[in-house]
Amino acid sequence: MQQAPDRMKTVFGEFVLLVIVTTLAVAALSLWYFRSFGEAVMMPAVGFAVTVTAASALPYLAYLVFRVASLHADNDGLMRAAHTDRLTGVLNRQGFEKVFRNHLRSLVGHNDKGLMLLIIDADHFKRINDRLGHPVGDIALKKIAGTLKKLVRQSDAVGRLGGEEFVVSLPCGTAEQGEMVAERLRMAINRLYVGTGKNGAQLSVSIGGVFMRTPQPFDRIYEAADANLYRSKEGGRNRCTIASIAAQGRGRLRGMEAPATPQTAG
């Protein structure tokens, strides 16, 4: 599929070619029509006809530039909307997978690069919805998404796969670096609170992650990270479990357990 800049170049090229062909046609017709008037009349007449033809194309060219730029901006807006989760403003599944696959491709031929995929699931989210109501649950999701976006780099990617499940793609040099980011995200979210007083809840998340240095099938990466998320849930929630996987599929588990904190989310 042609990219927008390439399409714009094609449109402008076709327009310029049309102007050139039209101008040459007008010049030829003018020469034929004024040939009997002599050179003294013919040449100025031909020059005038060619100038008017070329000049008349300028307003159309300006309009074309405006319309193409406007359509390009509208197209970008539609693409962003198609790849954005409406509630939280982070990437949706389609948008995240597109960025994540680009991150995977960047690993090819670079042994010093690595990539971490984190699956982040809000703990006891159903209890928050049931006890405090869905509007408060939506606020919780927005706060989690906002915290994730704030604490990662612009080159990273944050997405929401659905419900209370988020994902983060972290290009990083080592598993330890990705693990530190995961723990920082967990701790920051654990400081969040929704509601007020007794009608409130402290937020926490469980995180499962997988680190790789070579591209892997997306389904396999997600399955490995999801298995680590399950281990975090089984281990008491509000913790991170990270695994490093090699090309042949062997892994090494590492867990980072959170200190005991009171769970007011229910």
d(CA 142, CA 120): 14
d(CA 181, CA 191): 16
Domain count, the chain: 2
Which residue range forms the structural domain that includes residue 171? 93-244
Judgement on whether residues 116 and 69 belong to the same structural domain of the protein: no
pLDDT for residue 144 is more than 70: yes
pLDDT confidence band for 22 (50 / 70 / 90): confident
Judgement on whether residues 19 and 126 belong to the same structural domain of the protein: no
Judgement on whether residues 54 and 129 belong to the same structural domain of the protein: no
Judgement on whether residues 108 and 239 belong to the same structural domain of the protein: yes
pLDDT confidence band for 87 (50 / 70 / 90): very high
What the block records as the tokens of 48 is 């005038």
- Does residue 187 lie within any of the structural domains? yes
Q: What is the pTM of this model?
A: 0.68
What is the layout of strands, in order, in the sheet containing 239-245?
157-162, 165-172, 114-122, 205-212, 239-245, 251-257
For the chain, the C-alpha Rg in angstroms (whole number) is: 30
Domain boundary among 50, 82, 114: 82
CATH number for position 165? 3.30.70.270
pLDDT confidence band for 110 (50 / 70 / 90): confident
Task: Read off the pLDDT of residues 37-75 as tens digits, 9 standing for 90 and up.
Answer: 777 777 887 777 778 777 777 776 676 667 666 766 656
Domain boundary among 82, 107, 125: 82
Judgement on whether residues 175 and 126 belong to the same structural domain of the protein: yes
Judgement on whether residues 38 and 103 belong to the same structural domain of the protein: no
- Does residue 237 lie within any of the structural domains? yes
**What percent of the chain is modeled with pLDDT above 70?**
79
Q: Are 54 and 27 in contact (CB under 8 A)?
A: no
Judgement on whether residues 55 and 143 belong to the same structural domain of the protein: no
Q: Are 212 and 105 in contact (CB under 8 A)?
A: no
Burial of 143 (0-12, 13-18, 19+ CB in 10 A): middle
pLDDT at site 255: 46
- Does residue 255 lie within any of the structural domains? no
- Does residue 251 lie within any of the structural domains? no
pLDDT for residue 231 is more than 60: yes
Judgement on whether residues 140 and 237 belong to the same structural domain of the protein: yes
Q: Which residues are catalytic?
A: 164
Token pair 């406007």 is found at 70
Mean pLDDT lowest for which of 33-47, 65-79, 212-226?
65-79
pLDDT at site 80: 66
- Does residue 87 lie within any of the structural domains? no
Judgement on whether residues 138 and 102 belong to the same structural domain of the protein: yes
Average pLDDT, integer, range 119-137: 95
pLDDT at site 264: 38
- Does residue 258 lie within any of the structural domains? no
- Does residue 148 lie within any of the structural domains? yes
Q: Is the dihedral of CA 167, 170, 175, 181 positive or negative?
A: negative
Judgement on whether residues 66 and 102 belong to the same structural domain of the protein: no
Q: Are 202 and 262 in contact (CB under 8 A)?
A: yes
Judgement on whether residues 111 and 55 belong to the same structural domain of the protein: no
Q: Which is it for strands 239-245 and 251-257: parallel, antiparallel or unpaired?
A: antiparallel
Judgement on whether residues 116 and 238 belong to the same structural domain of the protein: yes
Mean pLDDT lowest for which of 69-73, 110-114, 227-231, 255-259?
255-259
- Does residue 147 lie within any of the structural domains? yes
